[in-house]
């Protein structure tokens, strides 16, 4: 099928390349010139395992193309995916500016009947708004149908998730459109849930809100474990074996970050407010997560008394491992507080350092490797559970740190082993 994908970020690019891989003819459209020229030359602007290989393979087969030109991109396309960003507005709601821009561009350039498929995460009712917005700006006689197809991929394993997801959700009020999009997705071999438009939109927010709730819940239990000398890992194992609870998303730490959970939880609270409904649980989830980012600082204060002139090796800057994405990464507020309190920062990240340089304060020193970061630092603070950080030999931490102290915001090590290696160790919710 001839498909256009609008937006070549984490979602749009992965969607476009994977749809090409399963046999569709895809043209990806973006307004960012730089991204499009990089993509045309087979270079992925984002770090995602396996993505660049699939990109090059499909460019060579001419099954995926890239353009900034909407009229070329939409030409002869029966299906048009929207994957542009829906960031958080100042009041916490989802900002639909990019979606509205896309509606205008589609209306100006659409030349045939088409099915519009929204991958972007959008508040309930937005797909109806998209349809109206396109139709009210369109000049000639074409008809469109709308399908909501929320995306559930995780950054860092986006390609894997696209081929091995638990379900594909498609919602529409039009059976013909639902069937077309079901067929487009069939080659992925993933169970397809067909539903109505508004429920599909709600499924996305409810899924992210539920996962964020699990994280904030286990973080509260971890904080309590800290006060009562219980071990949150043992607790998570004990409760997770109950199939009704499940053992995933129960890793305690310094809280969730990223491009989705923070903004989507706030957006759902805002969606509730708009219809006079207070999302009490979710408000607490957000509050607990904001508080959780300070837990490591509290532990550092308790240990050092003052952070003035302390040299801190900050290990891991991205919001999670296997991505270069810095959006809502806990390293952002943490580095600000550390510098405000007079500490020096020696930062290391295997992939996200270049992106971090654009966001973190100027006076952060960036090390090329872990050894350089911890060399002569007064403590190491682990913020992202990258494999190379988890596998760094404890003896080297002991030898290379000025003072052998680790504050572990991701519970990467076994406390007993670390202490056996002669290192003072503070983690989250574990004695
Ligand atoms: N990142 C994720 O893991 C993820 C997962 C599931 C769902 N989502 C949702 O998917 C959507 C996209 O997220 P993302 O992380 O891929 O965003 P992103 O910021 O990485 O990418 C958005 C892209 O859209 C482009 N764009 C903006 N305006 C445009 C326009 N008018 N025409 C064409 N292109 C335009 C931008 O240049 C950018 O390349 C959001 O709604 C997000 O909530 C994201
Ligand atoms: O037990 C856990 C699991 C995750 N996290 C943190 O939670 C955040 C999000 O992690 P993850 O869900 O793995 O990454 P994302 O790429 O943000 O993916 C989420 O957000 C996407 C965007 O909506 C959805 O598509 C995915 O299904 C959903 O998992 C990260 O900061 C993790 O460190 C924890 O603290 N503890």
| Domain stop point among 246, 267, 291 | 291
Give yes or no for residue 139 having a pLDDT over 90.
no
Please check whether residues 245 and 387 belong to one and the same domain. no
What is the residue with the minimal CA distance to atom 13 of ligand 1?
85
Residue 25: in which H helix or E strand, if any? Answer: strand 25-29
30 is in an annotated binding site: yes
139 touches 104 (CB < 8 A) = no
Structure tokens at 209: 């809100």
Report the alpha-carbon distance of residue 155 to residue 319 in Å, rounded.
Answer: 10
Mean pLDDT, rounded, for 171-178: 98
Structure tokens at 396: 């080297």
| Ligand 2 centre distance from Cα of residue 279 (Å) | 21
Please check whether residues 111 and 217 belong to one and the same domain. no
| Domain stop point among 195, 223, 254 | 195
Please check whether residues 90 and 135 belong to one and the same domain. yes
pLDDT at 409: 98
What's the pTM value of the predicted model, to 2 decimals? Answer: 0.97
Q: What is the pLDDT of residues 54-70, one digit of tens each?
A: 999 999 999 999 999 99
Q: Which residues contact 383 (CB under 8 A, 6 or more apart)?
A: 254, 296, 314, 315, 316, 317, 329, 330, 331, 334, 409, 410
Find the residues whose C-beta lies inside 6 A of ligand 1: 6-12, 29-32, 35, 83-86, 98, 101-102, 105, 119-121, 151, 153, 155, 259-260
358 is in an annotated binding site: no
Report the alpha-carbon distance of residue 77 to residue 295 in Å, rounded.
Answer: 51
Report the alpha-carbon distance of residue 323 to residue 327 in Å, rounded.
Answer: 11
Domain contains 154: yes
Give yes or no for residue 399 having a pLDDT over 90.
yes
If we measure between CA atoms, which residue out of 323, 260, 317, 388 comes closest to residue 51?
323
Give yes or no for residue 376 having a pLDDT over 90.
no
In whole numbers, what is the pLDDT of the chain averaged over residues? Answer: 97
Q: What percent of the chain has pLDDT over 70?
A: 100
Please check whether residues 257 and 360 belong to one and the same domain. no
89 touches 128 (CB < 8 A) = no
pLDDT at 31: 98
Range of the domain at 279: 204-291
Q: Residue 351: count other Cβ atoms within 10 Å of its Cβ.
A: 18
327 is in an annotated binding site: yes
Q: What is the pLDDT of residues 241-269, one digit of tens each?
A: 999 999 999 999 999 999 999 999 999 99
As for the ipTM of the complex, it is 0.98
CB of 120 closer than 6 A to ligand 2? no
Domain contains 62: yes
117 touches 12 (CB < 8 A) = no
If we measure between CA atoms, which residue out of 209, 9, 275 comes closest to residue 120?
9
Please check whether residues 11 and 113 belong to one and the same domain. yes
Catalytic sites, residue numbers: 260
pLDDT at 141: 87
Q: Which residues contact 414 (CB under 8 A, 6 or more apart)?
A: none
Q: What is the pLDDT of residues 292-341, one digit of tens each?
A: 999 999 999 999 999 999 999 999 999 999 999 999 999 999 999 999 99
Beta bridge partners of 144: 114
pLDDT at 339: 97
If we measure between CA atoms, which residue out of 280, 279, 293 comes closest to residue 219?
293
Beta bridge partners of 148: 118, 171
113 is in an annotated binding site: no
CB of 258 closer than 6 A to ligand 2? yes
Please check whether residues 273 and 297 belong to one and the same domain. no
Q: What percent of the chain has pLDDT over 90?
A: 98
Q: What is the pLDDT of residues 204-229, one digit of tens each?
A: 999 999 999 999 999 999 999 999 99
140 touches 107 (CB < 8 A) = no
263 is in an annotated binding site: yes
pLDDT at 150: 98
Instruction: Specify the higher pLDDT residue, 139 or 264.
Output: 264
| Ligand 2 centre distance from Cα of residue 252 (Å) | 13
Name the closest ligand to CA 106. Answer: 1
| Domain stop point among 291, 318, 345 | 291
pLDDT at 239: 98
Please check whether residues 383 and 275 belong to one and the same domain. no
pLDDT at 378: 98
Could you tell which of 320, 331, 385 is best to mutate to test the pocket of ligand 2, judged by most ligand atoms within 8 Å of the CB? 320
Please check whether residues 326 and 297 belong to one and the same domain. yes
| Ligand 1 centre distance from Cα of residue 118 (Å) | 11
CATH for 235: 1.10.1040.10
| Ligand 1 centre distance from Cα of residue 318 (Å) | 18
- Which phi-psi region, left, alpha or beta, contains residue 313 (left: φ > 0; alpha: ψ -120 to 50)? beta
Domain contains 376: yes
Residue 201: in which H helix or E strand, if any? Answer: helix 197-228
Report the alpha-carbon distance of residue 7 to residue 120 in Å, rounded.
Answer: 10
Number of domains in the chain: 3
User: Can you tell me which atom of ligand 1 is nearest the CA of 12?
Assistant: 16
Domain contains 431: no
Encode 3-26: b = buried (16+ Cβ within 10 Å), e = exposed: bbbbbbbbbbbbbbbbbbbeebbb
φ, ψ for residue 145, nearest 5 deg:
-120, 155
Confidence category of residue 172, pLDDT binned at 50, 70, 90: very high
Please check whether residues 190 and 219 belong to one and the same domain. no
Mean pLDDT, rounded, for 146-155: 97
CATH for 139: 3.40.50.720
Structure tokens at 37: 């020229």
Give yes or no for residue 140 having a pLDDT over 90.
no
Residue 304: in which H helix or E strand, if any? Answer: helix 295-304
Could you tell which of 13, 84, 116 is best to mutate to test the pocket of ligand 1, judged by most ligand atoms within 8 Å of the CB? 84
Please check whether residues 313 and 404 belong to one and the same domain. yes
Domain contains 217: yes
């Amino acid at each position: 099928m001839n498909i256009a994908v609008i937006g070549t970020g984490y979602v749009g690019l992965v969607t476009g390349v994977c749809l090409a891989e399963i046999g569709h003819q895809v043209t990806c459209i973006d307004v960012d010139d730089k991204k499009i020229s990089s993509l045309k030359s087979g270079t992925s602007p984002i770090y995602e395992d396996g993505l660049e290989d699939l990109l090059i393979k499909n460019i060579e087969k001419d099954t995926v193309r890239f353009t900034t030109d909407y009229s070329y991109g939409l030409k002869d396309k029966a299906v048009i995916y929207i994957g542009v960003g829906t960031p958080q507005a100042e009041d916490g709601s989802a900002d639909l500016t990019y979606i509205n821009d896309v509606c205008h561009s589609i209306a100006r350039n659409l030349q045939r009947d088409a099915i519009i498929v929204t991958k972007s995460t959008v508040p309930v009712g937005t797909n109806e708004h998209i349809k109206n917005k396109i139709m009210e700006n369109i000049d000639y006689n074409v008809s469109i149908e709308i399908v909501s197809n929320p995306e559930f991929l995780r950054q860092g394993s986006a390609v894997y998730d696209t081929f091995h997801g638990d379900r594909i959700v498609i919602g529409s009020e039009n059976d013909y459109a639902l069937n077309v999009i079901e067929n487009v997705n069939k080659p992925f071999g993933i169970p397809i849930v067909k539903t109505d438009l508004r429920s599909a939109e709600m499924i996305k927010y409810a899924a992210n809100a539920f996962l964020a709730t699990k994280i904030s819940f286990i973080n509260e239990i971890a904080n309590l474990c800290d006060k009562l000398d219980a071990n949150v890992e043992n607790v998570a194992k004990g409760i997770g074996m109950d199939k009704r609870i499940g053992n995933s998303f129960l890793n305690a730490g310094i809280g969730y970050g990223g491009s989705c959970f923070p903004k989507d939880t706030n957006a759902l609270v805002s969606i509730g407010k708009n219809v006079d409904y207070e999302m009490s649980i979710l408000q607490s989830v957000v509050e607990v997560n904001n508080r959780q980012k300070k837990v490591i600082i509290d532990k550092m204060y308790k240990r050092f008394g003052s952070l003035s002139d302390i040299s801190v090796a900050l290990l891991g800057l991205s919001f999670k491992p296997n991505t270069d994405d810095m959006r809502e990464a806990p390293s952002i507020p943490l580095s600000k507080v550390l510098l405000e309190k007079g500490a020096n920062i020696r930062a290391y990240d295997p992939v996200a350092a270049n992106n971090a340089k654009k966001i973190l304060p100027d006076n952060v020193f960036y090390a090329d490797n872990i050894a350089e970061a911890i060399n002569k630092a007064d403590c190491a603070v682990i913020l992202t559970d990258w494999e190379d950080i988890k596998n760094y030999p404890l003896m080297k931490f002991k030898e290379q740190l000025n003072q052998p102290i680790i504050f572990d915001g991701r519970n990467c090590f076994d406390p007993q082993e670390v202490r056996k290696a002669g290192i003072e160790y503070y983690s989250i919710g574990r004695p």
